Homo-oligomer: A and B are copies of this chain.
C-alpha cells in the first residue's frame, strides 16, 4: 500500500537585493532545510527563476520531500501581491525596468503553487501565524530597517489595496512638512527619520547642530556613523545619543497616533534592526503616543517589539503565505 502524502511543508523565500534565501518550513514554524542563491547576478528574470527553481527542487528532492510541499510563499521587494509580479524593483538589475510575472514563472519551474507579497506584508503574516500577533485580527507591523515598511492586517486579512501596493507607511509625509529629502523623490517621509539610516542622519545633524555638546559619537570620524553606533553610545549613557533616540521615538510615536486613528489596531508590532533599540526608542515613542492619541483610543493599542528571530523571520513570514 502506498503511503499517503501529506502537504505538510511550505517553502518560504526571502528575496533581498543581494541574496535570495529560502527554507523548507513545517506547520510549527521550524525551518528544516535552507538554501540560498544570488539575487542580482542574472541578466533576466527567466535566468533568476531558473536558478531559484533549480535550487528549490534540489533541496526538496535531496530531503525526500517531493509531493509533500503545499506551496511557495515569497517576500519580494516591490512585489505586487494581487498578481504575483515584481514591479520595477530599483535595487535588482534584471527587475529594474520591467514588470515580471515572478510567481507564474516559478510555478512553471517547480510545479508548486506560488504567492508573493512585499517584505513588510510577509513580516505581518509571520507575526500572525508564528509571532506576537497570534489570534489578532487587527494589527500593524512596522519594519524599521534600512527603510521603513508596513504590513497592515484588518479583519484578519492583509490590506492589499486595489492595486496590491497598500501599506507604505514609511512614506507618509505630513509628519514633517518640507522635511528631509527621501529616496522616493519627495520630502519629509517617515523613513527619512525613523529608519536605521534616518537615525544615522539625525546623528550627523545633531552633531553639527550642537557643536558644544560632548558625545562619544564625535570619536567616530574614520567612517560614517551607523544607528548601531548611536545605540552603543546610548548604552554608555551618552546624552546626545539618547537625544537622537528621543527625537526618533517621538516622530514615530506621533505617526503611530495617526495610524491608530485609521485602523484602530490591537497592536503595533515593531520589527527589524532599530526595534531592538529597546527603551531608548520605546520610552519616547510611548510618551508621544500618550500625548498625541485621540482620547477614544488611549491605552488600547499595545506597542510590541517582534519576538521573531530576525534571521528566520523573513523566511517564516514569506512561508506563511503558502499556508493560506
Contacts and interface: CB of A to CB of B under 8 A. Distances in A.
Contact of A159 (B154, B167, B175, B259): B154
A264 B166 contact: yes
Instruction: Give the residue among A157, A173, A292 with the most B Cβ atoms within 10 A.
Output: A173
Contact of A296 (B162, B165, B257): B165
A3 B259 CA distance: 53
A159 B161 CA distance: 13
Contact of A261 (B137, B157, B172, B264): B172
A295 B262 CA distance: 22
B174 A297 contact: no
B264 A161 contact: yes
A300 interface: yes
A70 to B, nearest CB: 23
Interface in A197-224: none
Interface residues of A, number: 43
A137 B82 CA distance: 13
A157 B159 contact: no
A294 B157 contact: no
Grouping DSSP codes into helix (H, G, I), strand (E, B) and loop, the A interface class, with mixed when no group exceeds half, is loop
A169 interface: yes
B152 A155 contact: no
B255 A168 contact: no
B257 A259 contact: no
A38 B128 CA distance: 46
A45 interface: no
B185 A162 contact: no
A57 interface: no
Given A162-B264, A162-B300, A167-B262, 11 more contacts: A136-B162, A154-B161, A161-B264, A163-B300, A165-B296, A167-B263, A168-B296, A173-B292, A174-B174, A174-B175, A186-B292
